[in-house]
């Protein structure tokens, strides 16, 4: 793929983005079997303007609304479900920056992304590392404990050291948004260069699905924090972010559902026989087989509809800025998560009923849809969501998003010196 100038309009970008996605879809099954990372395609998408979709126009972006973004992520998920997950950290960073209250930080990084920079993610840590740190008394024994530390040298320069896991997209990125803690245990996000010599990307993700997302270990050893490197220090900069990151997964699952339907239709059309007990030997006229395909379409439509609902709820909350609307978006996203996961996993299983044992062969690649959907469904565990929804409906208890934890508020910023808040 030959690098070309960044497109200047959304229409031009979409033509190039969809061209890359078409190439991605061709051979996606073979890449899954070969554990082949889509490095060149990620760079091609960046060159096509994919990373600029939500960047405001004043900084060189296309400023699309959330429903449009998530629909495009569903298109990407249909082509290759690794792609939306790889870019999840990038688009999450853009959302943080769009709401960032430090204008210098906001302008600096949105302009860099508008020029084509790509962000990766490094938030979570291996449980063994956290447990060891907690036992040694160097990390709090709580949800989201962070052992990765940022230290300041005698010149005032800051450096990050630590170990991350689930560092999705980091190996493909230019910069990494890393969750760190200072010597006082205060947590925050800092931006560090992804290709610094002190950054080691270990290709050790061993999940049953989403195999080419680079979601393994990343090691940091004295990696310098970038200029304007503190982002998302205030919880007002993070409102709606829990909903946003989950809707990225819903978009990806919707893309998988689309692919399940399309591939199953092709399989049925290509079949030359059915089964001993079939009422016809023509698969395209077999009522049971047609019923399977119809059920898959129902599941796809369920995912599509709930994705749109969740995206519109979050878009509305961002428009009003009301906490009650963000709560409503969180609850509706949680409900959508439950139903979309059930629908897509069911579709990925039922698809095998459209054919015989040959569909279980590796060369058909149909199994990847269940593996990928099951892996995505394990993020932000869905098992807790019905109880969260019920607690709100019965007791009026609003969920507290994870990104709000241990974050300064705007009020804190007014009452405390800037150096204490921004570090």
Which phi and psi (to 5°) does residue 120 adopt? -120, 180
Closest CA to 303 of 260, 351, 341: 341
Q: How far apart are the first and last CA of the chain?
A: 42
Angle at 399 between CA 395 and CA 401, to 5 degrees: 175
The yes-or-no answer to whether 10-118 and 122-233 have a common fold is no
Q: Per CATH, the architecture of 10-118 is what?
A: Orthogonal Bundle (1.10)
Please state, in angstroms and as integers, the Cα–Cα distance from residue 100 to each residue in 45, 190, 232, 239, 403, following that order. Answer: 25, 13, 6, 11, 14
- Render pLDDT for 324-349 as a digit per residue (tens, 0 to 9): 999 999 999 999 999 999 999 999 99
- State the CB neighbour count (10 A cutoff) for residue 372: 29
Neighbours of 191 (CB within 10 A): 23
User: Measured between alpha carbons, how far is 55 from 100 in angstroms, rounded to an integer?
Assistant: 13
CB 45 within 8 A of CB 83: yes
CA dihedral angle for residue 82, residue 84, residue 89, residue 95, rounded to 10 degrees: 180
Residue 183: predicted pLDDT: 81
CATH of domain 239-404: 1.20.140.10
Q: Show me where the domains of the chain are located.
A: 10-118, 122-233, 239-404
Residue numbers of the chain with a pLDDT score lower than 50: 1-2, 410-423
pLDDT digits (tens, 9 = 90+) for 258-291: 999 999 999 999 998 788 788 788 889 999 999 9
Structure tokens at 176: 């990494």
CATH architecture, domain 122-233: Beta Barrel (2.40)
3-state SS, residue 191? strand
| CA-based nearest residue to 398, from 294, 176, 242 | 242
Give pLDDT tens digits for 372-382: 999 999 988 89
Global pTM value: 0.92
């Amino acid at each position: 793929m030959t690098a070309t100038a960044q497109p200047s309009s959304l229409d031009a970008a979409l033509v190039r983005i969809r061209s890359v996605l078409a190439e991605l879809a061709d051979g996606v099954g073979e890449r899954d079997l070969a554990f082949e990372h889509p490095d060149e395609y990620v760079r091609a998408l960046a060159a096509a303007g994919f990373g600029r979709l939500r960047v405001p126009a004043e900084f060189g972006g296309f400023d699309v609304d959330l429903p449009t973004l998530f629909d495009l992520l569903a298109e990407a998920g249909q082509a290759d479900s690794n792609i939306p997950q790889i870019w999840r950290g990038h688009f999450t960073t853009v959302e943080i920056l769009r709401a960032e209250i430090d204008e210098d930080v906001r302008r600096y990084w949105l302009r860099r992304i508008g020029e084509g920079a790509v962000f990766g993610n490094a938030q979570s840590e291996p449980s063994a590392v956290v447990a060891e740190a907690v036992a040694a008394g160097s990390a709090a024994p709580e949800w989201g404990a962070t052992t990765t530390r940022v230290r300041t040298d005698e010149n005032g320069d800051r450096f990050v050291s630590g170990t991350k896991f689930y560092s999705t997209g980091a190996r493909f990125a230019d910069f990494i948004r890393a969750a760190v803690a200072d010597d006082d245990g205060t947590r925050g996000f800092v931006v560090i260069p992804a290709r610094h010599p002190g950054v080691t990307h270990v290709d050790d993700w061993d999940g049953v699905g989403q195999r080419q997302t680079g979601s393994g270990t990343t090691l940091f050893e004295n990696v310098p924090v970038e200029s304007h490197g503190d982002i998302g220090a205030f919880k007002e900069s993070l409102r709606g972010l829990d909903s946003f990151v989950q809707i990225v997964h819903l978009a990806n699952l919707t893309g998988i559902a689309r692919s399940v339907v399309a591939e199953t239709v092709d399989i049925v059309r290509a079949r030359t026989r059915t089964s001993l007990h079939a009422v016809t030997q023509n698969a395209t006229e077999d009522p049971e087989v047609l019923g399977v395909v119809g059920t898959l379409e129902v599941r796809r439509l369920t995912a599509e509809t709930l994705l749109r609902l969740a995206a519109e709820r979050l878009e509305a909350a961002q428009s009003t800025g009301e906490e009650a609307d963000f709560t409503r978006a969180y609850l509706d996203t949680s409900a959508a998560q439950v139903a979309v996961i059930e629908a897509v996993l069911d579709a990925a299983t039922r698809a095998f009923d459209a054919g015989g044992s040959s569909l279980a062969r590796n060369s058909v690649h149909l199994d990847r849809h269940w593996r990928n959907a099951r892996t995505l469904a394990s993020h932000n565990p869905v098992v807790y969501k019905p109880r969260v929804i019920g607690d709100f409906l019965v007791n009026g208890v609003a969920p507290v998003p994870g990104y709000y934890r241990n974050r300064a508020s705007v009020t804190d910023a007014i009452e405390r010196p800037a150096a204490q808040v921004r570090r």
